[in-house]
Structure 1
Amino acid sequence: MKLGLLILLLLVGVYGDYSSLSYVDRPCGTDLSNLWLDVVAVVDNSQGMTFNGLQNVGLNIVNVLNNGTRIGSNTFEPRTTRFGLVTYNSVATQNADLNQYQSFADTFNGVFDAFLTVANTTESYLATGLELAEKMFVDQSFNSTRDHYKKVVIVYASEYNGNGELDPLPIAERLKLSDVNIITVAYEQPGSAGLLQGLSQIASPGFSFSFAKDNVAGNLVNEVQIALLQSNCFCANDWIQYSGSYFDPASTRYGICILPVTMPQVWRAAKMSCSHRWNNSNLATEFNQAKHDFILSAVRNTQGFSPPYQYHIGLNYVSGSWVWTQPTGRQQVPLQQPLMWLSGYPQLASDKSVVMNQQSAHETGWINIASMNVVANSVCETYSCDTDNYCDAQYFKNQ
């Protein structure tokens, strides 16, 4: 290829107008009707909650679920949500196991039946409610046909009490280590000092809410629904969920999973290896600086990668332009700004048609190389499991 023509094609590939094509990373699914979760609500019904408080909690629960979510189990549609209910005061009561409610109407009636009266005690120990929720998951969710469904506890509390065996924090930590997400909602009353701070320790990062602060114009319903959608957006073991910040677990998740691969190989072999890891998998894209930085952080924190870092990504030169590889059957995405080339790149050589990240003295950026010459580790990506992408049990067995 003549040098002048190659330079022109490179410039078109880099600076061409592709505004009609998407250049953003896949978001988590947002279809509440397709939630597929196992959820247990753990509700304080002590005197501190009050009757009005219980009614407000009931309204919040039914409004959160009144979005087309398929309640119960359905053998023909796997995207269903089971909903169990626990009330607690000095002791905990199982009002509904995970199989009792088989429709939204069942849930609506069951919730308000359970909240008709406040318990005749001022004692309120969240630990008892969390222990019962944990038992429900062990008995009816873990090691079952729904083992691969994400588990969620929603706590509604008016007080934060407990020491020793009644300290709720160790139980909450145990649940989170078992991959259970915890959403907390504080129902503040006079004298409930420390409630929000205590519940924020119980909650998964970013999932602590308050009736007083969030229940404005229905915002609390929206906040809990978003937390459920974020809970339903997750990756298989070993994959790292792309989010707004690698170091902030409360940052917003994207519908993308990242996998640093410690298998030195040439670019073409890395591309093929990524494409066979699962449906919709391919070499990683870096549409923006934040994604580039996130992937670099993941690489730095993965055993088997060492400085100076070198790893294949999915940028390559095809038919006159730089494009990002995409899953099989999908159109490749033309390169747009920002550009993260190291100084002196891309080099104008017809055989240097693929890209890897390379660490230099002060930065890590793109260099173009020959596809069959340089052996290095690589980074793959795939779609997350979420409301738009159901992952069956076999998916997790194959990872």
Structure 2
Amino acid sequence: MKLLSLFVTLLGVYVCSADYSPLSYVDRQCGEDLSNLWLDVVAVVDNSQGMTDDGLNNVAANILTVFSNGTRIGSNTFEPRTTRLGLVTYNNVATQRADLNQYKSIGDAYNGVFDALSTTVDTTESYLATGLTLAENMLLEQSANSTRAHYKRVVIVYASEYKGDGELDPLPVASRLKLNDVYIITVAYEQSGDDGLLKGLSQIASPGFSFSNDDHQSGNLVGKIQSSLLQSNCFCPSDWIQYRTSYSDPASYRYGVCIQPVNINSNWLAAKISCGRRWNVSSLATEFNQAKHDFILSAVKKANGFAPPYKYQIGLNYVSGSWVWDQPAGRQQVPLQKPFMWLSNNPQSASDQSAAMNMQSGQGTGWMSIATMVGSANYVCETYSCDTDNYCDAQFFKTK
């Protein structure tokens, strides 16, 4: 199987590494297999006196426990779903302890991380900006400009203090990292009387990725960081929109589904074929529930080439006596279970009205039956996200 995967990769074809769940009437979730993480991660650790030797020991244990659920550490020619781990320590200056290619296995990481985080240095100065800047340079030189440029990048910060202004202000560096599509996870190791650390680090972190050492005490810190890594590893191509629980809140829970409004007038059958060829596992969009319908409508309203009254084709179609949802090639179509969005006098019983589109009317925006090869409208496509269950090959990004 590994040789086949390599062969397909060399041909520049999408590699799908997952066995998907049986047919169900729910939207696909992001992959949750920690053994299949494929990320480039830099841990940035405060080793000033404020962290304390015990704190550093806890950080080392936390880092290694996070990646000890079968995650493949290092690069692997035959298995692309690997995670590289780099390590930076900082105080008043930053030091690279391990570049992204140093640790070849979790065993290497155990020895290297504990050795690098054995004791604090003899200074109380702690400037996170130095550590973030070094991590930024490492990711730029060793990840973004490499054969792993399509991998998501993550920085995990462990800090005992938040301070700095001017050139030592960490916020501009963090903003730059996030602007360049780097996720930041922060863990606050608060000192007595320092109530501002968690608040400061929450500005540094990506939305929802700010935690405290108190979570370690309760046993939840490892799980929260792992969940953040899985969410970081669940993403859509740049011209697709990831379906989430709230369109207006980018930090809301994300599904393993991407959508794309297409402003090309086509009949339904042409739209179906077009969607099926736009990405790796793609089709016309499904609307299993009101939330999905509302999300797609919000995306359409923001898309170029769509204007009120909105109308756009979706994947609902009439096949062999029942309404079903279009699915990617080779996958069984999903029977309609909740016909909640039909407009009045729809669906039509006419034999040629065997597909559906969303139409804005005085009743709101709902489904209207249409012919598959007559008339035209814009349409909305859907595909699986790239995640731990669904590896997306670099060559496929280049061809789309």
- What band does the TM-score fall into relative to the shorter chain? over 0.9
Within a 5 Å distance, the mapping from 1:113-152 to structure 2 comes to: 113-152=115-154
State the partner residue of 1:385.
Answer: 386
SS at match of 1:48: helix
- Shift in Å at residue 337 of structure 1? 1.6
Alignment of 1:201 with 2:206, yes or no, is: no
- Shift in Å at residue 294 of structure 1? 0.7
- Shift in Å at residue 216 of structure 1? 4.4
State the partner residue of 1:326.
Answer: 327
Alpha-carbon deviations, 1:206-263, whole Å to 9, x = none?
A: 1111111x22442110000000000000011110111111111111111111111011
Within a 5 Å distance, the mapping from 1:306-317 to structure 2 comes to: 306-317=307-318
State the partner residue of 2:7.
Answer: none
Do 1:160 and 1:194's aligned partners in 2 also have CA atoms closer than 8 Å? yes
State the partner residue of 1:51.
Answer: 53
Q: Distance in 2 between matches of 1:398 and 1:41?
A: 33
Letter of the structure 1 residue corresponding to residue 333 of structure 2: Q
Deviates more, 1:192-201 or 1:85-94: 192-201
Give runs of ≥4 in structure 1 deviating > 3 Å: none
- Shift in Å at residue 55 of structure 1? 1.1
State the partner residue of 1:247.
Answer: 248
Alignment of 1:299 with 2:300, yes or no, is: yes
State the partner residue of 1:96.
Answer: 98
Letter of the structure 1 residue corresponding to residue 293 of structure 2: H
Letter of the structure 2 residue corresponding to residue 232 of structure 1: N
State the partner residue of 1:276.
Answer: 277
- Shift in Å at residue 27 of structure 1? 0.6
Alpha-carbon deviations, 1:315-337, whole Å to 9, x = none?
A: 00000000001000110000012
State the partner residue of 2:80.
Answer: 78
- CA, structure 1 residues 338+347, in 2 after alignment: closer, same or farther (shift >3 Å)? closer
Do 1:340 and 1:366's aligned partners in 2 also have CA atoms closer than 8 Å? yes
SS at match of 1:141: helix
- Shift in Å at residue 338 of structure 1? 5.3
The root-mean-square deviation of aligned C-alpha atoms, in Å, is 1.1
- Shift in Å at residue 205 of structure 1? 1.1
State the partner residue of 1:222.
Answer: 223
Alignment of 1:341 with 2:349, yes or no, is: no
Alpha-carbon deviations, 1:72-117, whole Å to 9, x = none?
A: 0111111110000000011101000000000001111111101111
State the partner residue of 2:179.
Answer: 177
SS at match of 2:174: helix
Letter of the structure 1 residue corresponding to residue 209 of structure 2: F
Do 1:265 and 1:375's aligned partners in 2 also have CA atoms closer than 8 Å? yes
Do 1:288 and 1:338's aligned partners in 2 also have CA atoms closer than 8 Å? no
Q: Distance in 2 between matches of 1:185 and 1:360?
A: 50
Letter of the structure 1 residue corresponding to residue 199 of structure 2: Q
State the partner residue of 1:352.
Answer: 353
- CA, structure 1 residues 101+21, in 2 after alignment: closer, same or farther (shift >3 Å)? closer
Q: Distance in 2 between matches of 1:389 and 1:266?
A: 30
SS at match of 2:135: helix
Letter of the structure 2 residue corresponding to residue 286 of structure 1: E
SS at match of 2:51: coil
Q: Distance in 2 between matches of 1:192 and 1:141?
A: 35
Letter of the structure 2 residue corresponding to residue 78 of structure 1: P
Letter of the structure 2 residue corresponding to residue 335 of structure 1: L
State the partner residue of 1:164.
Answer: 166
How many residues align structurally? 379
Letter of the structure 1 residue corresponding to residue 106 of structure 2: F
Letter of the structure 2 residue corresponding to residue 144 of structure 1: S
Do 1:160 and 1:192's aligned partners in 2 also have CA atoms closer than 8 Å? no
Aligned-residue sequence identity (percent) comes to 73
Q: Distance in 2 between matches of 1:362 and 1:154?
A: 49
State the partner residue of 1:4.
Answer: none
Q: Distance in 1 between matches of 2:294 and 2:75?
A: 41
Letter of the structure 1 residue corresponding to residue 222 of structure 2: V
State the partner residue of 1:9.
Answer: none
Using structure 1 for the length normalisation, give the TM-score: 0.93
SS at match of 2:340: coil
SS at match of 2:172: helix
